[in-house]
Structure 1
Amino acid sequence: MANVRAAQRNDIHDVAKALALAFQDDPVMTWMFPDDTMRSTRLPRLFAALARYQYLANSEVATADDGSIVGATLWAPPDGWQQSPLDELRQLPALVWAFGRRLGVGKEMSDLMKTHHPAEPHWYLSVIGTQPSIRGGGYGRSLMQSQLDRCDADHAPAYLESSKAENVPYYERFGFEVTGEVVVPGGGPTLWPMWRNPR
């Protein structure tokens, strides 16, 4: 079983690195950053911005480590998945640095996901990922279960979007159910929104 703990500010670099490796072949990230070299450079910046400005403030960044950080999750608490205009402004320079000329594409994706986001209060799993080299070792399961135990204790539902069809059965094993499909316009990928009622 992996050691799962709350991330600290000095973990952001390692969290971003682990998530960037995890999402290198992700369909959404590939669509936003089509060039492999660009994606390798931009993803650590993107995940660092998300962790630092959106999720770490609520202490909702968890890490899995075996001596070094090999995976992480970014969760938003009920009614906390949308940033305030002030928080968005604070995050903007980091997002510009992450996206560069692709900032418009990132905004389109964010707006599309917000449009389909459920209104009922829930815990939102924005990101979960482990480095490819340790997949199958139970790290992702440990990360997921640690928060779902909290959801169940609080009698709170959880929500995520799967960006890979092959990951849907994995999430179903934790009790998530597909609620529809979101197709990104302009030849983009498909997302599968998934909802989990507390147990």
Structure 2
Amino acid sequence: MTTVDVRPAVRADIAALSQVLGRAFYDDPVMAWMLPDPVARRRKLHRVFAALTRHHHLSRGGVEVAAAGSVLGAAALWDPPGQWRHTVGEQVRAAPGLLLAFGAALRRGQQAEELMQRHHPEEPHWYLAVIGSDPSVRGSGQGQALMRSRLDRCDAEHAPAYLESSNPANIGYYQRFGFEVTGEIVLPDGPSLWPMWRQPR
């Protein structure tokens, strides 16, 4: 069995990790709602993750990547306690990349973000904004290794963790790591997201 290596991401990883996340979220209900054209989604989705990683998550120090061998296969974008909000400067810098990805559908992305912010808990926690593995490596343990890496740190720090599941099929997966559904966020004329909270162990 190939060993899975997890390490902090660096700027040079952004191109590869954004492509991995673009493929991972291609069939995601929320991403399909935001980018309904399947051809455009396949071509542009990685730009969303590149912009968010480059202009927000990477500077927080919570981005990790997993690989089995030399090929990066999974990535997780975590924000440390108290650092999940995007600053105005980050939003301005990310805007061109998000506009290139979403085009006229950018308003949908903003609606989703506003609703997510409204439901976001105030108690300090590690926030898992995004986690995904390339469909070609699913089942190889890379996503699980990423989850364990950060959740072990949460437990060591006695810190809760929070995420929103954008796909109902993934809720059971997160529950296996100790997350519990705390509500439902219904997007306008769209799918739902499920806020999930995990107490430290």
- The TM-score with structure 2 as length reference comes to 0.96
Residue number in structure 2 paired with 1:3? 5
Residue number in structure 2 paired with 1:49? 51
Structure 1 residue ranges, 4+ long, deviating more than 6 angstroms after superposition? none
Question: Structure 2 unaligned runs (5+)?
Answer: none
The one of 101, 113, 121 aligned to 2:104: 101
User: CA RMSD, aligned part only?
Assistant: 0.9
Residue-pair matches, total: 198
The reply to whether residue 31 of structure 1 matches residue 36 of structure 2 is: no
Distance 1:179 1:88 in 2: 28
Residue number in structure 2 paired with 1:12? 14
1:10-50 CA-to-partner distances (Å, cap 9, x unmatched) read 11000000001100000000000001111012211001001
Which amino acid in the other structure matches residue 95 of structure 1? L
Distance 2:110 2:177 in 1: 30
The reply to whether residue 155 of structure 1 matches residue 155 of structure 2 is: no
The one of 76, 92, 102 aligned to 1:73: 76
Which amino acid in the other structure matches residue 87 of structure 1? E
- The TM-score with structure 1 as length reference comes to 0.97
The one of 118, 126, 134 aligned to 2:121: 118
1:166 offset after TM fit, Å?
1.7
1:97 offset after TM fit, Å?
1.8
Distance 1:151 1:129 in 2: 19
Distance 1:168 1:95 in 2: 27
Which amino acid in the other structure matches residue 52 of structure 1? R
The reply to whether residue 127 of structure 1 matches residue 91 of structure 2 is: no
Percent sequence identity is 53
Give the secondary-structure state (helix, strand or coil) at the position aligned to 2:78: strand
The reply to whether residue 87 of structure 1 matches residue 90 of structure 2 is: yes
1:102 offset after TM fit, Å?
1.2
